[in-house]
Each structure stands twice: as C-alpha cells, then as structure tokens.
Amino acid sequence: MITAGRDYHSKPFKTLVVLGESTVQGGEWLDKQEDRFADIVAGLINTCQATPVTYHNKGIGANVISPRSPGYENSAKPSALERYRTDVINLNPDLFILCYGLNDMRADMPIDAFTEDMQTIIGDVKTTCDPVIVLTTVYHMTGFGSFPPFDLGSIEKTLHYNNAIRQLAEENDGLLADVWAGQGTTDWLIHPDGVHANKVGNLIIAHRILETIAQHCSGLTTATYARDARTAWTINATDYREQDGDPFNPWWIKNSEGRK
C-alpha cells in the first residue's frame, strides 16, 4: 500500500524502460516518433534532472501479456511474459513503466489470468532489479467493434481491468498512473482509428505518468532544489521563515541517505 509522503527514489533516475503495446511503440497515427507518450515522459524527466536518463522503448504493436491471451496467435509476436527478461531485467532499470491491459481486455482475456501474468513480471523484475515500478491503467478508446480478435472490449471491461491493475500496484508497493482518469473518457483525445491516443492524448498520458513519478520520487527534483537553494531569494525567504518560527523543512533531503 502506498504511504502518503513516502519517498520512493531520492536520486536522479539512470535507466528508464517502458514495456508495452502499440501505444508505447507508436505508429503512423502520430506525426513523429517524439509524439509518443513514452518519449514525452523521458523528455520531461530529462528536463527535470541534471543528468539525462537512458531511455529504452520496448513497445510492440498488437502485443499481449502472455500466450494465454486470446489475442496471442493473432499478434504473432513474443508476449510480454516471453520477453521481459531480455527487454527489462537485462537492462537493469531503476524506473520501469509497465503498460499492458488494452489488447488483452479487447481480446476478452479473463482478468484472473491477466493478473497472474502481470504479477509474474512485476514480481520477477522487483526481485531482480528493484526499480520504481509504475503501472498504467488501460487507456480510453472508442473502436470497440473493430480489428478482430481485438473487438470484444468495452468500457465496463476496461473498468474491471483498471481495478485489477490498481490492486496490483497496491499489492506490489508500486505506483499507479491513472491515465484513464487523465483522459477523462474524452473522445477527441483519441485518433480516428479508435484505439490510439492522438498527439494531445499522448501529452495527457505522459503528464499523468510524470505527475505520479514526481509525487513519489524526490530524486526528480534534486537539480531544482540545488539550484533554488543557492539563490538570494531563497536565502532571504528562508531567513524570514526562520525568524517567524516557520522554518523550511526539506525532510526528503534529510531522510534520503541510504535510499535508492
């Protein structure tokens, strides 16, 4: 269970891996590769940090969580369960974003099976690398009746999947980026293909993920804090606060020794 005020990572991130489906990989529905939400997240992290994060995009179009997914045969590509050791563990990330559920929901994979396979990946990555793990909820979409066998989804199934993903995050001491809530079931954030977020939708998704990371990982603000601490404004303001009996308390700095 996530504890309010807990600092999950007190240092700048070194290696980011994003594992997912076509929403992560990107495609012709976007003007350019840099419009992918995963690229935007990496760019935002680099805007915050003094040193850039090494970013690995491990998205595959039409991908599913495991061979148990009804969409596996149609996908004809290694599932997340078959590739996470190479695509995630071997890269030793300290920040891991796991983005699955859309295609499995659309193919009507039983939630229990999906949850079990997600848990296998999360548990193994956590044990081996121990990164900050961020799970994303299933994205909003509109084309539920298209692209068989991925034509069996619905908003109701999306909500069930999202509850399962939320529970996985809680049980594994991970973070949940509720991109579904960020999109707000807003149809104009979706490409006319009915499945993928458009450019603006990708911006919404990326900022919801950054929001989640920033709220729980002080390392993202290390460079900002160091810069602010040196300014005349800060020195004067903190002196006034001290005099008024309301001293500035950077508890996350004081408590960061020994943390990741």
Confidence of residue 240 (pLDDT cuts 50, 70, 90): very high
SS3 percent helix, strand, coil of the chain, rounded to 5, is: 50, 10, 40
Q: Which residue has the tokens 């460079």?
A: 223
Residue 148's closest CA among 106, 120, 184, 176? 106
Which two structure tokens, joined as six digits, stand for 158? 């999306």
Give the N- to C-terminal CA distance of the chain in Å, as an integer. Answer: 19
| Residue 124 three-state SS | helix
Phi and psi at 241, nearest 5°, equal: -65, -40
- H-run or E-run covering 15: strand 15-20
Sheet containing strand 175-177, edge to edge, reads 54-59, 15-20, 95-99, 132-136, 175-177
- pLDDT, tens digit, for every residue of 23-78? 999 999 999 999 999 999 999 999 999 999 999 999 999 999 999 999 999 999 99
* DSSP for residue 65: S
pLDDT tens digits, 113-141: 999 999 999 999 999 999 999 999 999 99
Write down the pLDDT at residue 251: 85
Query: Using omega within 30 degrees of 0 as the cis cutoff, is the peptide bond preceding 70 cis?
Result: no
* pTM attached to this predicted model: 0.95
Q: Which helix (H) or strand (E) element contains residue 57?
A: strand 54-59
Residue 94 per-residue DSSP state: S
| Region for 78 from its dihedrals, namely left if φ exceeds 0, alpha if ψ lies in -120 to 50, beta otherwise | beta
pLDDT at 79 over 80: yes
Q: What is the number of other CB atoms lying within 10 angstroms of the CB of residue 241? A: 13
Dist CA 13 CA 47 (whole Å): 12
